[in-house]
Amino acid sequence: MPISLYLHIPFCLSKCPYCDFASVVYDEKTTTDYVTALCSELKNSYSCQADTIYFGGGTPTILELEELDKTMQAIHKNFTLLPNCETSVEANPKTLDKTKVGRLKEMGFNRISLGIQSLNDKELQTLGRIHESKDAIDSFNLLTKGGFENIGLDLIFGIPGQTLKSWKSSLQQAISLSPYHIATYSLTIEEKTGFYKLVKHGKIKLLSDEKVRRMYLWAINYLSLKGYRQYEISNFSLPGFESKHNLKYWNHQEYLGFGASAHSFYKNKRWGNTKNVKEYTRLIKQKGKAVEFEENLSKEQLMVETIFLGLRKIQGIDLKKFHKDFGVRLEDIKKDKIDYLISTGFLSKQNNFLSLTRKALPVADSIILDLV
């Protein structure tokens, strides 16, 4: 089976107050050293076939064109890319221009995930974004003119001060651009972020759970009417344009991760790199790897991961495949919980798939945790 490759590019133009990803503000020397280490890690990795590549961050498009090209060459030297390999890159509207768009296409990127977050300038300011709504629209048009068709837009709802009306407006404007993919994420407040401190000291007020729920359910209905199929809790696409890379995660298939904080899952083993960018670079230079932890997953751990990842998909868990993979029936080992969640309208079992119902989607995390 071909695997997926994930490359973490942890650099941003600025650090957003809601972000808890492993990312730092761009610095030329740190970035140059990091890319050298990243290419070294790729060179020392397993050599195998790959059918999806994903550059995530951070902001991968903040890299110089030579650095992106160098990284892509390192991938090609060590991995065999299958025909029609989905090659994705996350982008910030402020890091794109005509030249960069053209070179991204030449390097083999064929899918763009554009982090616009909102098309309301006041909300963008609240989120600490450095771009305005006009920049987002201009970047999308620049990508389409540059030959990119498979473009996805990422938006956030539940932003302090946001209303259902402003959320509708953002989503409607986004759809008017005709993207192939839409991801809608509910704002979550994580410790060690700027927002966490602001909330803790009462300087910003979060929206009520009910308001956030209404925004989410409205988005599901609206996107469905516009022809977008919800295939995961937060993700929607036109038919045939689901993120193949992310589906690998939710289908519990193998992937290799490279860069600071990147995780890998290969041959029932999981490992992860250090989150510290400079420490990652130092360890790769000294030891050839920067692994912070690794574990061999037991059958029980693999079953639990299959359950909570599978339930993120709207299709749900393939019960026949679960039985084939683990030699037990999920309906038997979790019978009482499954029966209860079905009776209360949170789970549905149809055509040998176990899935969350529409009622369960706004509280999916708690339902999944209850089941596992």
Both 131 and 72 in a single domain?
yes
The reply to whether 102 falls in a domain is: yes
Strand intervals (E) in the chain: 3-9, 11-12, 24-25, 49-57, 80-91, 111-117, 151-157, 181-186, 229-232, 235-237, 255-258, 263-266, 269-273, 291-296, 317-318, 347-350, 353-356
Query: How many domains does the structure of the chain reveal?
Result: 2
The reply to whether 276 falls in a domain is: no
Task: Report which DSSP code applies to 297.
Answer: P
Average pLDDT for residues 138-156, to the nearest whole number? 97
The reply to whether 244 falls in a domain is: yes
Both 312 and 168 in a single domain?
no
Percent of the chain with pLDDT over 90: 89
Both 203 and 336 in a single domain?
no
What's the CATH number where 359 sits? 1.10.10
The reply to whether 261 falls in a domain is: no
Both 185 and 324 in a single domain?
no
Both 322 and 221 in a single domain?
no
Last residue of a domain, one of 250, 278, 313: 250
* Residue 116 main-chain phi, psi, to 5 deg: -90, -30
- pLDDT at 204 (0 to 100): 86
Q: Please give the mean pLDDT across all residues of the chain.
A: 95
Q: For 258-268, what is each residue's pLDDT tens digit?
A: 999 999 999 99
Show Cβ contacts of residue 65 under 8 Å, excluding neighbours closer than 6 positions: 99, 100, 103
Both 147 and 208 in a single domain?
yes
Both 242 and 323 in a single domain?
no
- pLDDT at 158 (0 to 100): 96
The reply to whether 58 falls in a domain is: yes
In degrees, rounded to 5, the angle at the alpha carbon of residue 146 between the alpha carbons of residues 144 and 149 is 40
- pLDDT at 199 (0 to 100): 85
The reply to whether 256 falls in a domain is: no
In degrees to the nearest 10, what's the CA dihedral of 148, 152, 156, 161? 40
Both 14 and 87 in a single domain?
yes
Query: Residue 63 and residue 21: Cα distance in Å, rounded?
Result: 18
What's the CATH number where 109 sits? 3.20.20.70
Tokens for 222, please give them: 């609206």
Question: Would you say 190 and 153 are in contact if contact means Cβ atoms under 8 Å apart?
Answer: no
Query: Residue 313 and residue 231: Cα distance in Å, rounded?
Result: 6
- pLDDT at 86 (0 to 100): 98
> CA 75, 41, 248, 106 torsion: positive or negative?
negative
The reply to whether 264 falls in a domain is: no
Tell me how crowded residue 351 is: count the other CB atoms within 10 A of its CB.
10
In degrees, rounded to 5, the angle at the alpha carbon of residue 172 between the alpha carbons of residues 137 and 159 is 85
Both 16 and 127 in a single domain?
yes
Average pLDDT for residues 339-359, to the nearest whole number? 96
With helix as H, strand as E and coil as C, how does 143-187 read?
HHHCCCCCEEEEEEECCCCCCHHHHHHHHHHHHHCCCCEEEEEEC
Q: For 103-135, what is each residue's pLDDT tens digit?
A: 999 999 999 999 999 999 999 999 999 999 999
Note the residue count of the chain: 372
- Cβ-count burial of 315 within 10 angstroms (0-12 exposed, 13-18 middle, 19+ buried)? middle
Both 237 and 334 in a single domain?
no
- pLDDT at 140 (0 to 100): 98
The reply to whether 170 falls in a domain is: yes
- pLDDT at 200 (0 to 100): 84
This prediction has a pTM of 0.95
Q: In terms of residue numbers, what domain contains 98?
A: 3-250
Q: For 212-266, what is each residue's pLDDT tens digit?
A: 999 999 999 999 999 999 999 999 999 999 999 999 999 999 999 999 999 999 9
Both 358 and 238 in a single domain?
no
Both 63 and 200 in a single domain?
yes
